[in-house]
A and B are shown apart, each in its own frame.
Chain A
Amino acid sequence: DVKVTQSSRYLVKRTGEKVFLECVQDMDHENMFWYRQDPGLGLRLIYFSYDVKMKEKGDIPEGYSVSREKKERFSLILESASTNQTSMYLCATHDIDRGEGSPLHFGNGTRLTVT
């Protein structure tokens, strides 16, 4: 079974802080994604990566950056946290070797509160 681990379940940060959300997967998947989940809006893609050191902007990249130095680890960075970034953040992986129709595998999420 694919295991996607997000390092924190709950985080509380202050406005202006630099925040790191970490995601580690153990299945050697090429593709990794960061989504944020808000009530009534579903999941929106922030950034994704299809290889080490490669990244692509998703639909809502403003205020975020990412880092992928190793295949198994994909970090989401909030350079200067703001209250409108309070949300649930979900990391996901995708195994391209199983074809484009293979599903995403999700971590349990990090609920971030910015005060």
Chain B
Amino acid sequence: AQSVTQLDSQVPVFEEAPVELRCNYSSSVSVYLFWYVQYPNQGLQLLLKYLSGSTLVKGINGFEAEFNKSQTSFHLRKPSVHISDTAEYFCAVSDLGFKTIFGAGTRLFVKA
């Protein structure tokens, strides 16, 4: 069985500061890894994904994530955040089947 742990439920940060949102997963098989973002009163949208190849993945809005197989982690980073990045972020894994498992989410608060 797979599981996803997001290590921080809330992350407050000042505008233009760097941020890292942490995600660890467990799985007995190869998985695909995703980060989704949810802005207030909206559904989730894809931020980035890792399928194979280069372990550093770049996504939309300046975000990137690094896949670390030995540590089973997929942390999300941005070097300089904006007020508009305030949202909830979900790490997710899926295997060769149809199911995607989500973490509990991390609320990012960007303060002026």
A positions within 8 Å CB-CB of B: 4, 9, 31, 33, 35, 40-45, 48, 50, 56, 58, 90, 92, 94, 96, 100-101, 103-104, 106-109
In Å, the complex CA distance between A27 and B32 comes to: 23
Shortest distance from the beta carbon of B78 to any chain A beta carbon, whole Å: 19
The docked-state distance in angstroms from the alpha carbon of A107 to that of B44 is 8
Chain A residues contacting B98 (CB-CB under 8 Å) are 31, 48, 50, 56, 94, 96
Closest to A9 in B: B41
Decide if B104 touches A108 in the complex (CB within 8 Å): no
Q: How many A-B residue pairs have CB under 8 A?
A: 61
Interface pair B90/A43, CB less than 8 Å apart: yes
Residue B100 lies at the interface, judged by CB distance under 8 Å to chain A: yes
Could you say which of B6, B43, B49, B103 contacts A4, with CB atoms under 8 Å apart? B43
Top 7 nearest A-B pairs (CB, nearest first) are A106-B43, A101-B32, A43-B102, A101-B51, A42-B104, A42-B102, A103-B46
